[in-house]
Chains A and B, each alone.
Chain A
Amino acid sequence: MIRVHNFLFILFVLLITSSCQKRPDPVNNTSIVKSPKVKFEITHMADGKDLNKDTWYINQNGDSIRISRFDYFISNIRFTKTDGNIYTEPESYHLIQEKNAPSKLFTIDIPEGSYSSMSFIIGVDSARNVSGAQTGALEPNSGMFWDWKTGYIMAKLEGESPQSTNFSSKFIYHIGGFAGTENALRTVKLSFNNSLLVGNDKTPTIHIKADAMEFFKTPNKISVKDTYTVMSTTDAAQKIANNYSDMFSIDHID
Chain B
Amino acid sequence: MKKQLTILSTILFAGIATFISCKPDPSFEPKVSAPIAFNVPQGWPQPVYNFNGNNKLTREGFELGRKLFYDPRLSRDNTVSCGSCHQQFSGFAQIDHPVSHGVDDLLGPRNSPALFNLNWHTSFMWDGGINHIESQPVAPIQNPVEMDETLDNVLNKLRGDATYRTMFKAAFGDETINTQRMSWAFAQFMGMMVSADSKYDKYKRGEAGVAMTTQELAGYEVFKQKCASCHKEPLFTDFSFRNNGLAVTTENDSGRATITLNTNDLYKFKMPSLRNLKYTWPYMHDGRFNTLDQVLNHYTTGIVQSPTLDAGLATGIPLTTNEKEDLLSFLNTLNDEAFTKNPLFAEPQ
Identify the A interface with B (CB < 8 A).
3-4, 7-8, 11, 14-15, 18-20, 22-23, 129-135, 139-141, 145, 147-151, 232-234
Contacts and interface: CB of A to CB of B under 8 A. Distances in A.
A149 B129 CA distance: 4
A3 to B, nearest CB: 6
A230 to B, nearest CB: 12
B155 interface: yes
B196 interface: no
Contacts of A8: 12
Interface stretch (B179-187, B244-252, B298-306, B313-321): B179-187
Nearest to A149: B129
A15 B134 CA distance: 40
Contacts of B180: 133-135, 139
A182 B130 CA distance: 16
B296 interface: no
Interface string B164-189: 00000000000000111111100100
Contacts of A139: 151, 178-180
Q: Which of A133, A134, A150 has the most CB of B within 10 A?
A: A133
A134 B151 CA distance: 14
Interface string B19-52: 1101011011000000000000000000000000
Nearest to B124: A150
A11 B16 contact: yes
A22 B27 contact: yes
29 contacts: A4-B5, A4-B8, A4-B9, A7-B12, A11-B12, A18-B20, A20-B25, A20-B28, A130-B131, A132-B55, A132-B134, A132-B135, A132-B183, A132-B187, A133-B180, A133-B182, A135-B178, A135-B181, A139-B180, A140-B135, A140-B151, A140-B179, A141-B151, A147-B135, A147-B139, A147-B143, A148-B129, A149-B130, A150-B131
Interface of B: 5, 8-9, 12-13, 16, 19-20, 22, 24-25, 27-28, 54-55, 125, 129-135, 138-139, 142-143, 150-152, 155, 178-184, 187, 259, 261
Given A132-B132, A140-B151, A150-B130, A3 B178 contact: no
Q: Which of B5, B54, B179 has the most CB of A within 10 A?
A: B179
Contacts of B130: 147-150
Contacts of B135: 132-133, 140, 147, 150
Nearest to A138: B180
Contact of B16 (A15, A23, A232): A15
Contacts of B125: 148
Contacts of A19: 22
Contacts of A3: 5
Contacts of A129: 131
Given A11-B12, A132-B132, A141 B139 contact: no
